[in-house]
Structure 1
Amino acid sequence: MSSSLLTNSAAMTALQTLRSVSDSLKTTENRISTGQRVSTASDNAAYWSIATSMRSDNAALSAISDSLGLSAATVDTEYTALGSVIGDKNSGLTKLQALLVEAKTAGIDRTKIQADITQIQQDMNLKANSATFNGINWLSINTSATTLATPATFNLVSSYSRVGGTPTIGSITVTTANFALYTTGGASTTGILDTQTAGVSVANMTIGTLTDSATDQTTLDGYIAQVTAAINSVASAAANLGAVKNRIATNTEFVKTLMDSVDRGVGQLVDADMNAESTRLQALQTQQQLGVQALSIANQNSQSILSLFRNG
């Protein structure tokens, strides 16, 4: 093989090999440091674009999860209040019904029973007014035609999806009139407890002046029927809210699972296989060392030529 002072082919070949190994080593070190094989668009434009969109979707899903948490708290507040208004043998509509049945007893002091009824009526109103979360109350609503009016419906954001470039936001619609116990601001009261029949509602009925007469006994029967109907209506409203609670809980779990699935999908696209990268790093470091040695050997050729001239 001929030797040239102007062109050291062996050194050039060794240098090219060393440069290639250094580039590969830089790529591998970047993957190990970031944990990703596609960290920028230049690594793989298609995968990077898909991963970026999926991360954006996951951010939207995270917002949906937060919204569902807020909705769950709101519904739970209203549901708890409805259950308290229904009450038991010691409180609420259940106790009120029992008191009215007791009031049908001949000769009983109905003024004392009325004292208990008044307390129950005030307690139910207090509970309805207190069922407020984040400024929202579905049990005591304003039906006036002003900006203060309670919205007729509330849309509880429950899902997010994207097909192509079109996002879709799903929601659970709640109609406030279905849960209203008391209403204010309207021409007439339309709540479950303040709707009047012949001027009397569960919220304002009194029995202190009633007697044992047949007419008053009939009036008591009407009151009992009115309270029984209210119990059924409040129970139905609570059942509807219970169904909404379950739906929110199911959607919450689904969104969390979906977020995990998207994270795994992004990982499969862009995450580096650390076992493979570690093995590759060791191999490249060895190749780099060998390349440096090969370049050193190639550069010694010129020194060998000089020694020929010295010997001459």
Structure 2
Amino acid sequence: MGSSLLTNSSAMTALQTLRNVSSQLATTQNRISTGQRVSTASDNAAYWSIATSMRSDNAALSAISDSLGLSSATVDTEYTALTSVIGDKTGGLTKLQALLVEAKTAGIDRTKIQADITQIQQDMKLKANSATFNGINWLSINTSTGSSATPTSFNLVSSYSRVGGTPTIGSITVTTASYALYTTGGATQTGILDTVTGNSTTGFASVDNMSISALTDSAANQATLDAYIAQVTTAINTVASAAANLGAVKNRLATNTEFVKTLMDSVDRGVGQLVDADMNAESTRLQALQTQQQLGVQALSIANANSQSILSLFR
């Protein structure tokens, strides 16, 4: 083919090659600067869409993790108070039971024993009233029908999942009546420790208000002491059962918390496999493209020089 001033095929080819290399170089530089091979929908619409949805799910999981932390703190507060109310040989229901058994002894000064019992009763109520976290208390509840009433149940958010376009939020339901030690606002008190029981023979009392100061060694008064001991024993078993249930909820929340954190890491890894750039490959590609770009510039320069050589023919 002859030389032409109007059409420089070599320069056109070199320019096309240089343009292609520059485009690839820009793509590689973008991947290196963002760390992603799919950073916009135009890079890969399918992968970008999946990654965007998974990032949204991870944001929801992060919120679930925060909710689990709040729920765990609430449950831990109530659980701590319940176990403290059960107590041991130095206080709580366990000490109260021991004092009542001691009061069965003939000739003992029950007035002095009652002084200890009163302190234990006040201490247990104080612990129940203090078991409040973020304005929530399951041990001392309001059973009225007004706006100040304690909800009958609480849903503790525990999990999040999405199948297709349908999200599902799991929760653990806690019924407050199962843990209420004291109640206010209702016509009668229905808490574990303030519910009045008994009969006309042994008398009527709750764990919260029972008193032995006036009791004697008579058979009737001894029967009353037996009823009180049975009542406290029942309360210990009921509170222990409530604490065991809360302990199970506490363990479940702890397990879910760890699972959510692991799941978030797994989602992050999955998104990374879809959209993250292989920096080792990109750095190698960058060096190769930079070399090709330099060669392309040289090739274009040579092609353009060919047109200049035609002028020598007219000298």
The SS at the match of 1:134 is: coil
Query: What is the TM-score with the length of structure 2 in the denominator?
Result: 0.98
Give the alignment partner of residue 200 of structure 1, picking from 197, 202, 205. 205
Using the alignment, how far apart are the partners of 2:2 and 2:25 within structure 1? Answer: 34
> Aligned letter for 2:311?
L
Matched, 1:115 2:115: yes
The SS at the match of 1:161 is: strand
Task: Kindly state the Cα deviation for residue 26 of structure 1 after the two structures are TM-superposed.
Answer: 0.1
Using the alignment, how far apart are the partners of 2:62 and 2:308 within structure 1? Answer: 67
Task: Kindly state the Cα deviation for residue 120 of structure 1 after the two structures are TM-superposed.
Answer: 0.2
Using the alignment, how far apart are the partners of 2:307 and 2:55 within structure 1? Answer: 57
**Match of residue 83 from structure 2:** 83
Residue correspondence of structure 1 range 1-312 to structure 2 within 5 A: 1-198=1-198, 199-310=204-315
| Cα offsets for 1:246-302 (capped at 9, x unmatched) | 000010011001000100010000000111111100110000000000000000011
| Cα offsets for 1:184-243 (capped at 9, x unmatched) | 001111100001113300000000000000100010000000000000000000000000
| Cα offsets for 1:15-48 (capped at 9, x unmatched) | 0000000000000000001000000001001100
Using the alignment, how far apart are the partners of 2:91 and 2:11 within structure 1? Answer: 96
Task: Kindly state the Cα deviation for residue 174 of structure 1 after the two structures are TM-superposed.
Answer: 0.2
Using the alignment, how far apart are the partners of 1:253 and 1:92 within structure 2? Answer: 34
Q: State the identity %.
A: 88
The SS at the match of 2:197 is: coil
The SS at the match of 2:155 is: strand
Using the alignment, how far apart are the partners of 1:274 and 1:169 within structure 2? Answer: 37
RMSD: 0.5
> Aligned letter for 1:274?
M
> Aligned letter for 1:101?
V
Task: Kindly state the Cα deviation for residue 308 of structure 1 after the two structures are TM-superposed.
Answer: 1.3
Using the alignment, how far apart are the partners of 2:140 and 2:272 within structure 1? Answer: 49
List alignment gaps of at least 5 residues for structure 1: none
| Cα offsets for 1:42-90 (capped at 9, x unmatched) | 1001100000000000000000000000000000000000000000000
List alignment gaps of at least 5 residues for structure 2: 199-203
> Aligned letter for 2:8?
N
Using the alignment, how far apart are the partners of 1:249 and 1:36 within structure 2? Answer: 35
Task: Kindly state the Cα deviation for residue 152 of structure 1 after the two structures are TM-superposed.
Answer: 0.4
Please identify runs of 4+ aligned residues in structure 1 that moved more than 2 A: none
Using the alignment, how far apart are the partners of 2:314 and 2:275 within structure 1? Answer: 58
> Aligned letter for 2:36?
Q
Using the alignment, how far apart are the partners of 1:271 and 1:46 within structure 2? Answer: 14
| Number of equivalent positions | 310
Using the alignment, how far apart are the partners of 1:90 and 1:165 within structure 2? Answer: 57
Using the alignment, how far apart are the partners of 2:265 and 2:86 within structure 1? Answer: 41
Using the alignment, how far apart are the partners of 2:308 and 2:135 within structure 1? Answer: 88
Using the alignment, how far apart are the partners of 2:312 and 2:232 within structure 1? Answer: 118
